[in-house]
Every structure is written in structure tokens, then in C-alpha cells.
Amino acid sequence: MGETITIKGEDGDFTAYLARPAKTNAPAVVVIQEIFGVNQVMRDICDGLAAEGFLAVCPDLFWRIEPGIDITDQSEAEWKRAFELFNAFDVDAGVKDIASTIDQVRALAEVNGKVGAVGFCLGGLLAFLTAARTDSDASVAYYGVGIESRLAEAEKLADPLLMHIAEEDQFVPKEAQTLILATLKNHPQIQIHTYPGRDHAFARVGGEHYDETDARLAGGRTLAFFQQHLGTGQ
């Protein structure tokens, strides 16, 4: 279903995985990677969104460090590499790349003009910043790491944002969750769902903390959110 395309960014060109829906005049969703690059998990998410009527694109946000990163969460060596990439990553540059991706995708003839974003882990933080800094029409953040240090950005947020928070997230401490909820719960554009008993990456299929029930629940909420704010090509 998918193919590789080139995105023209402010600082250079980079690749992205693109999955097209069966019908044209479809809304688009930018899928924002975890710390493992544009891997099979991200490609499967794109394919799943395409099956629901969205054009889905996952840009390679690690291209400045090393283009084409495609690793898993299944070995200690890959985890070590993933955290090296995370620590070397420039968040602000990544948001600029997402903005470039949104612009390019929105201009495609087969897209209805609406573009959203969904991100996981590192991508959850980037989805939050995408909502605040870009013209994404609707954004979804799954268990974003580090949002608590960026809460002032929410003042700039003008379009809808949906957040999924795992209550036992080892990378988002209870204190951070409390601060996030207290600061954002009354924001007119933000919906927040918390998942009791769930750890980080509960929606990553095949991951250590994957929970099928809550992954489906969060996925259903995300799909309904996008259908409400972006429309659907179905």
C-alpha cells in the first residue's frame, strides 16, 4: 500500500512513508514517529489510517542524525541506539520538518485541504508542539514525553488537540501528569483521556506494555476525533 516520497524541508530534503486511501479528496494525517524511526510499527499505523480513508504520511525526522533509521524495541542494542537518537534529536528542527510535511501534503491534489497529526512517545511531544506551532487542523498526542516542560506552548494552540496519557507511564512521572492535567484540563481546544494501569507505549503493537483493550479504546477515540475535525474520504 505504501511508498516513499521526498519532503522538501527548510533545511534540506528528507524522505517519508506515504500510504494512500482508496478514494481521493481525502483528509491527511501526518504520523509522527517514536524513537525507533520510520519502522514497521509506524508504517502499519499509516496503512491503518489509509484503510480508514485518510492519506497518511510518516516523515523521517532523524534524517539530520542518520537518514533511514528503522529499528525496533526488541533488543537491548536497539534501545541503546534509540536513546542515542533521542538525545541527539533537535525538537525544534523536528517541528519545522513536520510543518513542511503538512504544507506539502495539504497541497496534494488528492487531499481535501485538511491535515492532522498523530504522534507517539517522542512523537507525542512533537504532536503537542505541532498543535501549538503549526496549522495542523487536529492533532493527537499519545503518551508524550516532556510535555510538562512545554506547557506554556498551549497558549498558542488554536485547533483541537486530543491527548492520551498512560497513568503508570515510566517516562512521564505522576508529578508531570498532575501538572499537565491541572494546566490543560480547561483549555477549550484540548481533550485528555487517561488510562489507569497502563504504562508507556500501551498502544505499540508487539511492545512490552501493549494492552489490546486500551489500544483499541484510544484508537477508536483518535479515529472519531479525526473524522470529526478532518472529515473522511470513505
Residues 124, 60, 20, 46, CA torsion sign: negative
The SS3 call for residue 30 is strand
Enter the pTM of the model: 0.97
| Nearest in space to 224 (alpha carbons), one of 116, 107, 132 | 116
Mean pLDDT of 51-65: 97
Check whether 233 has a pLDDT greater than 70.
no
- Contacts (Cβ under 8 Å, ≥6 apart) of 76: none
| Nearest in space to 29 (alpha carbons), one of 11, 48, 15, 10 | 48
Told to judge if 209 belongs to the known catalytic residues of this protein, a careful annotator would answer no
Catalytic: which of 164, 200, 211, 214? 200
In this predicted model, what pLDDT tens digit does every residue of 188-230 receive, in sequence order? 999 999 999 999 999 999 999 999 999 999 999 999 999 999 9
- Pseudo-torsion of CA 225, 226, 228, 234, nearest 10°? -130
Look up residue 163 and give its three cell numbers: 491527548
In this predicted model, what pLDDT tens digit does every residue of 160-195 receive, in sequence order? 999 999 999 999 999 999 999 999 999 999 999 999
Catalytic: which of 137, 169, 199, 211? 169
What domains sit in the chain, N to C, each tagged with a CATH number? 2-230 (3.40.50.1820)
Told to judge if 200 belongs to the known catalytic residues of this protein, a careful annotator would answer yes
Percentage of the chain modeled with pLDDT above 90: 96
